[in-house]
Amino acid sequence: MNSHRVRTARAAAAITAALALGLAAAPAHAADTPAAPAALGTGDLAAARGATGAPAVLDQLGHFFARKGVPPTQRLGISAADEARAVTAAAPRLTGDTVPVYTLSAGFVSGRAGAPVAEVEFTATTAVAADGQRASVWAARQDGGWRVVNIASGSDEGDYAAKAAADGGTAFREPQLDAWYELKDGRVLPLDDEASRSVGAHGSTVAAYQRLVRQRYGDKLPGSGYDTAGKAGGFATEATEATGSAGNAGSGTSTASAAPDRTAPLLTAGAALGLTVLVGAGLGLRRRRTARITY
């Protein structure tokens, strides 16, 4: 791992360790009646949107689009003047709603009674450039306010949230697999290919999904050897490490799948977990699947 990933993993380990007392294992039937994911209030969404639309953030978006994914730590191959012109030409603007982004809950994985399947980790707002490029701007609650913490290429967060909402469900992500699901009527339904490989094309019951993720991550919760070794940020140390796939999770069958991208945290443990804060011109690099680059 590079030094940035090591620092992020250690920070995530510290956060998750602080929650260890609240994540004691509970009977497996606890997942049969999980609490509904807590909604984010309109005031918080408005505050997150305000932080996202700040002039400094729009300027960073201009650089993000102008560089077309090349991180600021690497040379762009054009002059500073040309980059400045590209920033102006990008003319970034926000589009659509600011949405809460739900992430698989550690309490649910542990089987804690009443724990929701997923919890709000951050908000996302889609931004678009004049040439059609799209990005997702993440904001998290920090120090009593909302602050932009990341810019990611593409618009998965807003797209999947809208897709699930149109169906009457709630979208959530399992970052370790880069999988997006819809939670609806006591079932976990796939929204992308990774989720289909995880729970099957027709999804699974919530209880079956809880058994599946407990199998995947039960030994990686706070207080585990995985946690105390400083790996709780969800970064792999072995490229060949594989994660089980549910197939039809309701049947209890599983198969091994190829190792996923390991640049996202395993479990949510607070709004700042695994996120890179934007400070001045220093944009943190994160990668998504299919070589999409996150600043």
What is the pLDDT confidence band of residue 78, given thresholds at 50, 70 and 90? confident
Residue 32 has pLDDT above 90, yes or no: no
pLDDT in tens, 192-237: 999 999 999 999 999 999 999 999 998 766 554 544 455 544 333 2
d(CA 253, CA 273): 31
Residue 259 has pLDDT above 50, yes or no: no
Mean local confidence (pLDDT), 24-37 = 57
| Helices 80-90 and 55-67, axial angle in degrees (round to 10) | 110
> Is the Cα dihedral 60, 65, 71, 74 positive or negative?
negative
Three-state DSSP class for residue 178: coil
pTM of the model as a whole: 0.69
Give the pLDDT score at 73.
78
Residue 90 has pLDDT above 70, yes or no: yes
Three-state DSSP class for residue 117: coil
Give the pLDDT score at 227.
47
pLDDT in tens, 100-139: 999 999 999 999 988 999 999 999 999 999 999 999 999 9
d(CA 152, CA 157): 10
Residue 70 has pLDDT above 90, yes or no: no
Q: 218: buried, middle or exposed (CB in 10 Å: 19+, 13-18, 0-12)?
A: middle
